[in-house]
Amino acid sequence: MKRKTTAVGASLIFLVSFVCGLAFADLKGSVHDFSSPKWKGVDQCGVCHMPQTKEAVPPLWDTRVDLSRRFGKMSMRKADPGMGTLACLRCHDGTIAKDATGAAIRDIDYPTMASPLRFGMGHGRSDHPVGVEYPQFDPEYRPTTFVLAGWKVTLPDGKVECSSCHDPHAFSGEKYLLRMSNSGSALCLTCHKK
Amino acid sequence: MNRARLLGLLGCVVAATAIADESVVNSPHDLSARSPHRIRAVNEDQVCVFCHAPHNAAPQTPLWNRENPETYYRIYESSTTDARIDQPYGASKMCLSCHDGSLALGNVLSRPVSQPIVMTARTMPPGPYGEDADLTNDLSDDHPISFRYDRQLSNVDHQIRPPEVVTQDLPLGVHREVQCTTCHDPHNNELGDFLNVTDEYSAICVACHDMDGWRYGSHAVSNKRTPGRVVDPRQRLKYHTVSDNACANCHRIHSAPKRERLLRYVREEEGCLNCHSGDVARYNIAADIRKSSSHDPDPRTGVHDPAETPFTMARHVECVDCHNPHASRTRNIGAVRGTFGQIVKGPNENVPGITITGRAIEDSRFLYEICFKCHGDGLFRPRIVTPRQITQTNKRLEFMPGNPSYHPVAIPLRRDASPSLIAPLRAGSIITCIDCHNSDNSRFAGGTGANGPHGSLYDPLLVRNFDTADLTAESAQAYSLCYGCHARDSILNNESFSLHRVHIVDARTPCSVCHTVHGIYRGQGNAVNHSSLINFDLSVVTPADTPQGRRLQYEDTGRLSGNCTLTCHGMTHINFPYANAAAKSTSARLRNSFPGVKR
């Protein structure tokens, strides 16, 4: 019995490390690779995650920044961004200095996130809406089952979030950390019935 | 879970089959390098990026990835539009960022200006008769856009439907205005031309435009084929029959050669004669209007305006002066001659006119009202050909009720009719302008051509020959116009004027020397001197020397009797009397048969 448990545990550990190995193999060298010399002094994962403390919420988001603030008018629709999206916008709304992450970088030209990676510049109308319910019954959009059937695009809590299209860990190795190739606008047409 | 996955798979299959026509992919709006169309990118393989970007787009609602052109557009103008048309804005402006041909197709906001997407064509290629895709900055030849379509508009123009009843498939803009996106869905080319509603039977046009009489009009229901030869050679019509093409037979919605009212041809008549030259339509009107005496629309182009007032308009004639191509339909003009023949029907429905009392109306009820537009009070009436005692160029006045004598075009005669009338004409009958003025080969004249005053060999546009030259030898042919209603036997047997035979046969005097044709206006002549349409031709008849001085006069002394004072053909009559022996009996016979008709 004990041996069996050990075997299961060993295989689990093996599996997890394999998956993580795959994942972080892609992260290495990607735009989110915080282990590069430019980001010297930064905890590679600590830019986004923090160890299990009472301040952290799963999956270990760093909540020291006020995540409850709203980012302007997110879109015409009523937007309520999830934790993941807010974590992205922590950097990508261009309000936080880069060295606030603990990095010892002195980038005078771009002390904060700059265009074109700084979002929300058009008061929510320049960017694809996030934190909105996926309009699964709108005839202009494909049904949720279709969207999720490809195992690429995600809809956390049934909402469109940053992570619907982007994978911050660069698992797929696509440009712009996309979850799938956008050749032929395939990513767009996964949801949009155009 | 399994069921969800199965559903998803099923969804994939369904979507993949549906994607074929409904999707923007592979449509002409797919500008990616994989697109099957001529205009596409060289390397870029994304489809949406030419218009949309997920981030850093223009702050315009559909994540717009293009600059808006700062072009000043020439906008549509028309004398008959009630809409207030603005410079394009909103969605239309986005379409024009490619379709006005000014901005580079590959110039998108998500890329630096110095590195646009490399395309097979830098801008929208021009080509007035090619793909119609380059609208240029001249939008006056395109259907108007960026105007408010509300109840205010439909109240002013009754030929525009109220916006509430227009199908939801034709969406209006944020401020209820018509934009490019009202008719076009840029993502869906299922119906061709990215239309929202099919243009077969012009369904998309008549969704908003409710033209008078269109529903039963010939151009809406005719199943005549429009083979390649007779349609506009510069652009083929999309469908095969007149009713399928409907509006598109005459109108072009984009890049129309004739800007105002978006017509296919600059010359008004060409649009009609394209089909009405014996190829598609039954009758060859083109041949008619080339005859010596015709309503020839050729010489004056661009003068006609549907908003014109008949009293002040410049001289012109076009097909659409007498016909409303939206409402025209095939139908016999009259049932029985002399009864209701003059009520407007079929080909002349929904045409403006002038009533007998001189009032302009939108919808003529009688044929003569259409004629009076030009031949009544208009400024440019045909000049006088024959010098007469009384001259009048206003035909409306000549047919007025209360005139001493007239041909019964507007109202029936109160007096006893001429004894020579051929049945079914009788006292109380009504005739029409086209009983006399008609094409010489018309069905009315016994030919095979179209009815109506299109063109004739006999001047002035007469249905049959009518000699007016002095010393014409009498024959059935010489005065066949008159003999059509007034029996030759009766005239020559002196049943009406007892000396008809002497004058017409022996003295070879044409009818027109003594009689005018249309009528005598009551303001100019009286019932004594100008009854029976007597109005002498002064080039033949001259005054006689009498003890009271030189006089030229006819005097009515009772039914079918009178006396004349004149010099004609070297003969002088002074109070020369005549009376018809049969007058009394004829008169009594007529009175008996039509008791309501008073002498």
Does residue B144 carry a pLDDT above 90?
yes
**What's the confidence (pLDDT) of residue B136?**
85
Give the pLDDT band of residue B589 (cuts 50, 70, 90). Answer: very low
ipTM score for this prediction = 0.77
pLDDT number for residue A71: 47
Query: Which has more confidence, B3 or A39?
Result: A39
Q: Specify the range with the lowest mean pLDDT, choosing from A28-42, A163-177, B237-251, B505-519.
A: A28-42
CB B209 within 8 A of CB B217: no
> pLDDT band at B196, cuts 50/70/90?
very high
Q: Which residues, in sequence order, are CB contacts of A122 under 8 Å at separation 6+?
A: B56, B57, B58, B59
A contacts of B11 (beta carbons < 8 Å)? 142-143, 145-146, 149
Residue B555 β-bridge partners: B563
Q: Quote the pLDDT of residue A17.
A: 46
Q: Which residue of B has its CA nearest to A162?
A: B54
B46 contact residues in A (CB cutoff 8 A): 182-185, 188
Best probe of the B interface among A185, A187, A188, by most B CBs < 10 A, is A185
Residues of A in contact with B8 (CB under 8 A): 145-146, 148-149
Tokens (6 digits) for B342: 């003059």
My answer on whether omega of the bond before B424 falls inside 30° of 0, hence cis, is yes
Nearest-Cα distance to chain A for B286, in Å, is 49
Give pLDDT, residue B10: 47
Arithmetic mean of pLDDT, B206-215: 91
- Identify the residue whose tokens are 């243009």: B199
Decide if B56 and A123 are in contact by the 8 Å CB cutoff.
Answer: no
Q: What integer best gives the mean pLDDT of chain B?
A: 84
> Which residues is B561 bridged to in the sheet?
B558, B579
Nearest to B25 among A123, A182, A184 (CB): A184
| pLDDT confidence tier of residue A129, bands split at 50, 70 and 90 | confident
Phi–psi pair at B566, nearest 5 degrees: -170, 170
Query: What are the helix (H) ranges across A35-159?
Result: 83-92, 144-149
Nearest CB neighbour to B32, from listed A116, A184, A193: A184
Percent of residues, chain B, with pLDDT higher than 70? 88
Q: In this predicted model, which residue has the larger pLDDT, B203 or B418? A: B203
pLDDT at position B592: 43
pLDDT band at B113 (very low <50, low <70, confident <90, very high): confident
**B519-520 and B549-551: which strand pairing?**
unpaired
Question: How much is the pLDDT for A105?
Answer: 59
Which of B16-30, B48-62, B178-192, B470-484 has the weakest average pLDDT? Answer: B16-30
Q: What's the pLDDT tens digit per position in B40-94?
A: 899 988 999 999 988 877 777 788 888 888 889 999 999 989 999 989 998 899 9
Is the backbone of residue B20 left (phi > 0), alpha (psi -120 to 50) or beta?
alpha
A40-44, A186-190, B25-29: least confidently modelled range: A40-44
CB contact, 8 Å: A127 with chain B?
yes
Check residue B13 and give its pLDDT: 44
**Alpha carbons B202 and B192: distance in angstroms, whole number:** 13
Considering only CB atoms, which chain B residues are within 8 Å of A148?
8
Q: What is the count of residue pairs from A and B with beta carbons less than 8 Å apart?
A: 82
| A64 shares contact with chain B (CB less than 8 Å) | no
Residues of A in contact with B5 (CB under 8 A): 149
Least CB-CB distance to A116: which of B4, B46, B56? B56
How far is Cα of residue B292 from the mean position of the Cα atoms in its chain?
Answer: 22
- pLDDT band for position B131 (cuts 50, 70, 90): low
Q: How far apart are CA B320 and CA B30, in angstroms?
A: 43
Burial (Cβ within 10 Å: 0-12, 13-18, ≥19) of residue B542: middle
**End-to-end CA distance of chain A, in Å?**
56
Residue A20 has pLDDT above 90, yes or no: no
pLDDT in tens, B149-186: 999 999 999 999 999 999 989 999 888 999 999 999 99
Comparing C-alpha atoms, which of B43, B146, B36 is closest to residue B94? Answer: B146
CA B232, CA B408: separation in Å to the nearest integer? Answer: 44
Of B16-25, B234-243, B446-455, B558-567, the range with the lowest mean pLDDT is B16-25
Closest CA–CA distance from residue A19 to any residue of chain B (Å): 24
pLDDT at position B315 over 80: yes
- The pLDDT, as a whole number, for residue B413 is 79
Contact between chains at B11 and A126 (C-beta distance less than 8 A): no
CB contact (8 A) between residue A122 and residue B52: no
Residues on chain B touching A122 (C-beta within 8 angstroms): 56-59
pLDDT at A19 over 70: no
The answer, for B33 touching chain A at a CB cutoff of 8 Å, is no
| pLDDT in the model for residue A1 | 44
Nearest to B53, CA basis, from B39, B66, B42: B66
**How many DSSP H helices and E strands does chain A contain?**
5, 2
Which residues of chain B have a CB within 8 Å of the CB of A76?
A: 61
For residue B596, the model assigns a pLDDT of 40
So what's the pLDDT on residue A103? 60
CB B269 within 8 A of CB B298: yes
B108 close to A (CB below 8 A): no
Task: Report the pLDDT value the prediction gives residue B587, as an integer from 0 to 100.
Answer: 46
Mutation choice for B interface testing from A89, A123, A164, A194 by most B CBs within 10 A:
A194
Beta strands in chain A (DSSP E): 132-133, 159-160
Query: Cα–Cα distance between A110 and A131 in angstroms, integer?
Result: 28
A145 contact residues in B (CB cutoff 8 A): 4, 7-8, 11
From the candidates B14, B56, B60, B174, which should be mutated to test the interface with A, based on the most A CB atoms within 10 A?
B56
The shortest CB-CB distance from B187 to any of A126, A128, A194 is to A194
Q: Percentage of residues in chain B with pLDDT exceeding 90?
A: 29
Question: What residues does B449 pair with on adjacent strands?
Answer: B442
- Taking the Cβ of residue B32 and every Cβ of chain A, the question of whether any pair is shorter than 8 Å is answered with yes
Asked if B361 and B353 touch (Cβ cutoff 8 Å), the reply is yes
Contact A149 B9 (CB under 8 A): yes
Predicted confidence (pLDDT) at residue B267 exceeds the cutoff of 80: yes
Tokens of A59: 């999956």
Mean pLDDT value of segment B510-514: 92
- Whether omega before A116 lies within 30 degrees of 0, making that bond cis, reads yes
Is there a contact between B505 and B533 (Cβ–Cβ < 8 Å)?
no
Tell if the CB–CB gap between B11 and A165 is shorter than 8 Å.
no
